[in-house]
Structure 1
Amino acid sequence: MRLQKYMAHCGVASRRKAEQMIAEGRVQINGEVVTFPGTQVREIDEVLVDGKRIAPEQHVYILLNKPKGVVSTSSDRHADQTLLDLIHSHARLYSVGRLDKETSGLLILTNDGDLTFKLTHPSKHVTKTYRSTVRGKVEASALKCLRNGVSIPMDDGSRYQTQSAEVEVAKENRGSTVLIIRISEGKKRQVRKMCAAVGHPVIHLERTAIGSLTDPSLKPGQWRYLTSDEIEQLKAEH
């Protein structure tokens, strides 16, 4: 098994993060520092990360309904509350993707680096569904723009043209509209930026599904373990 994949199996980090750790010289195999991610690991090999031995661990899969106000990190000394403050688990869990602090909704936490890679890598096109309440009445022209792709600002000052999206009007209120938006990419604060780009800033945003995985009965702050069927379903997503 390749080293970065082995590290992911051990719950150390995602494959992409593991590759970075390897390149930084933080990994040893049988006492030798290894800097090539593709190095093969055998069952008899001793692998150390930052001087500590690692070994495959039992995978844990949790579905959490993240409340507004909680940051999508395992640890942040500046945050009032993190994901792990809501979860009771001894496993080293990582969030599969992120939701910004003001966005609520479904997140998967796991120590399965392979699944994390599959669900977050841009080439996999896993759909995420959002319920977005925006200001104003959204006209057909704005819906068309959202569906075809819009230009949004990036943190580095560049612009990004979003891919096509599924967008439908769920409800029209006085002064606001509820949209169901499905995207298969995950730029930072993408849905918020998309809605702002067509003149309808987000008032409230919630992720309601990851691929085919959803659970309307899961209240904000609640979590549960995924079933074996749900895990296999996620692994089959593409």
Structure 2
Amino acid sequence: MKLRLDKFLADMGLGTRSEVKKAIRKGLAQVNAQTIREPEYKVDTEADQVLFGGQPAAYREFEYYMLNKPAGVISATEDTKERCVVDLIESRMRKDLFPVGRLDKDTEGLLLITNDGDLAHRLLSPKKHVDKVYFARIRGRVTEEDVECFRQGVDIGEKKRTLPSELRILEAGEISEIELTIREGKFHQVKRMFQAAGKEVLYLKRLRMGPLVLDESLKPGEYRTLNTQEMDILC
């Protein structure tokens, strides 16, 4: 792929477009060992070797990270007051990463961080009905009646009931443990579904989104790049 040198460098987070333009004109960029002072110079991202400030600058069109989102971090790219999930990806090269979908601030678990808009659309499009699987601890005894209610769709105060979902009881008691599969992503959906059943979500963790399954070796706040097998099933 051919790119302007200033866009190449800016995409890799090495400065704003205006900053890298100034740096290029000062002679801080080299392509194939030749100093380039024209920001509009076209770089072959596959073949050319680029140095910026004497350091190699490799180009990566897309990045894909699996994050085990911790509680207390918001699903956003930037915020003036809160820490965002993108801030946790310290090894990122791209400056345009974003979370695919969102998890509530107090919710943990699987979150895909990327800059691939097409993939995000495939996973988030309401028409696709992509499965999202959650583990939760619930205040109150979850019953087979709840299972059937969730299977039929739950009235959470909107025009339409939720789509049918699959509720599996792992442990029933004063504090119940469940696994829930939903196929949409309404605001606070899981919490609202259990609230409609007269219960309260105490802890919520996403385990799977579509074919992508959380790597349980990742502690909350840890991340890794997607492996080849994961990329194959997603793309």
TM-score scaled by length of structure 2: 0.71
Identity %: 40
Large movers: runs of 4+ above 3 Å:
none
1:103 match: 107
Residue of structure 2 in register with 1:94 after alignment: 98
CA shift for structure 1 position 206: 0.5
Match of 1:136 in 2: 140
1:184 is the counterpart of 2:186: no
Contact in 2 for aligned 1:170/1:180 (Cα 8 Å): yes
**In the alignment, is residue 166 of structure 1 matched against residue 147 of structure 2?**
no
> Counterpart amino acid of 2:176?
T
Residues 215-237 of structure 1, C-alpha deviation per residue, up to 9 Å, x if partnerless? 121110000000122022123xx
Partner of 1:234: 234
Give deviations 1:108-145, integer Å, cap 9, x for gaps.
01011100000000111111100011111112212211
What are the Cα deviations for residues 94-113 of structure 1, in whole angstroms up to 9, with x where unaligned?
Answer: 11000010111110010111
Question: Corresponding residue for 1:25?
Answer: none
Residues 147 and 166 in structure 2, CA contact (< 8 A), matched pair in contact too = no
- Could you tell me which residue of structure 2 aligns to residue 120 of structure 1? 124
1:204 corresponds to which residue? 203
1:67 Cα shift? Answer: 0.4
Other structure's SS at 2:105 match: coil
Q: In structure 1, list runs of 5 or more residues that go unmatched.
A: 1-10, 12-55
Q: 1:148 is matched by which residue type in structure 2? A: Q
In the alignment, residue 218 of structure 1 is paired with which amino acid? L
Give the corresponding residue for 2:85.
83
Is the CA contact (8 Å cut-off) linking 1:167 and 1:182 kept in structure 2? yes
1:63 paired to 2:62:
no
Equivalent pairs counted in the alignment come to: 176
- Deviation of 1:57 after TM superposition, in Å, equals 5.6
One-letter identity of the residue aligned with 2:208: A
Q: Secondary structure at the match of 1:187?
A: coil
SS of the counterpart of 1:74? coil
Deviations 1:123-176 (A, max 9, x none): 1111110001111111221221112111113xxxx4441000111011234x11
Unaligned residue ranges in structure 2 (runs of 5+):
1-10, 12-58
8 Å Cα contact 1:128/1:184 also seen in 2: yes
In the alignment, is the contact (CA less than 8 A) between 1:146 and 1:198 conserved in 2? no
How far the C-alpha of 1:86 sits from its partner, in A, is 0.9
Could you tell me whether the CA contact under 8 Å between 1:70 and 1:83 is conserved in 2?
yes
Q: Is the aligned partner of 1:217 residue 2:217?
A: yes
Q: Which amino acid aligns with 1:127?
A: D
The answer (yes or no) to whether the contact 2:86–2:99 under 8 Å persists in 1 is: no
Distance 2:203 2:150 in 1: 17
Distance, in Å, in 1 between the alignment partners of 2:217 and 2:126 is 29
Q: Secondary structure at the match of 2:203?
A: strand
Give the secondary structure class of the aligned counterpart of 1:130.
strand
- Hey, what does 1:8 align to over in structure 2? none
Determine which structure has more spread, i.e. the larger CA radius of gyration: 2
Q: Which residue of 2 aligns with 1:35?
A: none
Using the TM superposition, give the Cα deviation of residue 201 of structure 1 relative to its aligned residue in structure 2, in angstroms. 1.1
Q: In 2, Cα distance between the equivalents of 1:57 and 1:118? A: 21
Q: CA RMSD in A?
A: 1.8
Indicate the SS of the match to 2:148. helix
The residue aligned with 1:52 is none
Q: Is the Cα–Cα contact under 8 Å of residues 93 and 109 in structure 1 kept in the other structure?
A: yes
Q: Please give the secondary structure, in 2, of the residue aligned with 1:161.
A: coil
Instruction: Identify the residue that residue 74 of structure 1 maps to in structure 2.
Output: 77
